[in-house]
Amino acid sequence: MSQQSADDQKLESSPTCWHCKTGEAETIGHVLLACPKYEEIRRELLNQLRQNLESLGERGNHAWSCFARGSLSYQMQVILGVLQFGGLVDEAIAQFSSEYAAKAWNGRIVI
């Protein structure tokens, strides 16, 4: 059995996150906003998102302020596009989401 297949089987058999061993469930919210395994990726891309939003002026500053002060549930809804601000702000958030998903997925794969 390949390493990836064994990893997939482990993930399917247990709802807890086996990347960080915190005992937390491996939910979308955990992976997006809390799992220590993805902290470096998350920090880098959230900093980039903040800069991108702030460069958009008042609307971007408002979006970042709401996001930064929001609960993890609120932040997850923004990242997933459930809650939207409109226009270029949503485009910047969608770019963050796409880059985060790609980098986190690549960081998750064990070869």
**pLDDT tens-place values along the chain, 111 residues long:** 444 444 444 445 558 888 888 888 888 888 888 999 889 999 999 999 999 999 999 999 999 999 999 999 999 999 999 999 999 999 999 999 999 988 888 877 654
pLDDT at 26 (0 to 100): 85
Tell me the two tokens of residue 86.
């409109």
User: Which of 106, 70, 62 has the alpha carbon at shortest distance from 82?
Assistant: 70
Tell me the two tokens of residue 23.
């005992």
Which residues have a Cβ under 8 Å from the Cβ of 38 and sit 6 or more positions away? 31, 100, 104, 107
Per-position b or e across 67-104, b if 16+ CB within 10 A of its CB: beeeeeeebbebbeeebebeebbeebbeebbeebeebb
pLDDT at 109 (0 to 100): 62
